[in-house]
């Protein structure tokens, strides 16, 4: 078995684009997100639809060449593990001073170019999200970075990770801790089949006529 070939798509990929699975002592398939569990492993493209397909279509048994027990909620299990890792890294980022919270501070971090990632809670009001999106557009228009924004968590989840209440908007700042948060959020978003809400739009907005309105 090619260690870097998805057992569903049969395509090779980099380790960060795949999830490794091993078989535990009870013959159950176990996700190995850190890629350090002992034993023979197989790889699945890091998107839930492929994990669900591998579980439903018998791909794990064929890959391991033995009967294995596939948890019925394997796809949800992986999602929960990725979400826990992302929130854990976010908490570490806060302790390192790499997270700004609140709409005003997030907007300031975006406009200064210090932010590398924006997070909106599911409950975020349209007006608050719109203002920060305008700031992201303006930053690109002025030659700054295109900053991705994600909606991955509820307000309560962000608040628990960041030690606050009513956390609707947060910005992750540049730095080693911030980059670690970014990697985790990108991995979770990819697994859920999403993408930064309008990163392509931001990349194209420089030079566009309507971007000037966001700067005024």
**pLDDT tens track for 77-122:** 999 999 999 999 999 999 999 999 999 999 999 999 999 999 999 9
Q: What is the mean pLDDT of residues 198-203?
A: 57
Q: What is the mean pLDDT of residues 151-178?
A: 93
Contact status, residue 179 vs residue 80, Cβ threshold 8 Å = no
CATH numbers and ranges of domains, the chain:
15-72 (3.30.1230.10), 77-215 (3.30.1330.30)
- DSSP annotation of 142 reads T
Q: Residue 64: what pLDDT?
A: 95
- Residue 5: φ, ψ to 5°: -110, 130
Q: How many helices (H) and strands (E) does the chain have?
A: 9, 7
Q: Residue 166: what pLDDT?
A: 86
Here the tokens at position 169 are 């908007």
- DSSP annotation of 127 reads H
Q: How many CB atoms lie within 10 A of CB 107?
A: 22
- Residue 98: name the closest of 79, 81, 77, 119 by CA: 119
- Residue 51: name the closest of 74, 68, 34 by CA: 74
**pLDDT tens track for 38-55:** 999 999 999 999 999 999
DSSP 8-38: TT--B--GGGEEEEEE-TTSBEEEETTS--S
> Whole-prediction pTM value?
0.87
**pLDDT tens track for 125-147:** 999 999 999 999 999 999 998 99
């Amino acid at each position: 078995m090619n260690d870097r070939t998805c057992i569903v798509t049969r395509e090779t990929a980099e380790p960060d684009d795949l999830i490794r699975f091993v078989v535990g002592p009870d013959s159950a398939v176990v996700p190995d997100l850190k890629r350090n569990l002992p034993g023979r492993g197989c790889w699945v493209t890091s998107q839930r639809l492929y994990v669900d397909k591998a579980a439903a279509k018998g791909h794990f048994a064929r890959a391991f060449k033995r009967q294995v027990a596939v948890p019925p909620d394997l796809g949800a299990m992986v999602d929960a593990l990725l979400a826990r890792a992302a929130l854990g890294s976010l908490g570490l980022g806060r302790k390192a001073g790499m997270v700004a919270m609140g709409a005003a501070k997030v907007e300031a971090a975006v406009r200064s170019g210090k932010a590398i990632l924006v997070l909106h809670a599911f409950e975020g009001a349209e007006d608050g999200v719109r203002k920060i999106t305008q700031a992201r557009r303006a930053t690109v228009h002025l030659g700054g970075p295109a900053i991705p924004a994600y909606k991955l968590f509820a307000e309560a989840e962000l608040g628990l990770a960041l030690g606050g209440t009513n956390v609707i908007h947060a910005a992750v700042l540049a730095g080693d801790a911030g980059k670690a948060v970014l990697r985790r959020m990108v991995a979770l978003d990819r697994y859920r089949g999403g993408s930064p809400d309008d990163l392509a739009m931001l990349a194209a907005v420089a030079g566009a006529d309507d971007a000037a309105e966001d700067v005024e």
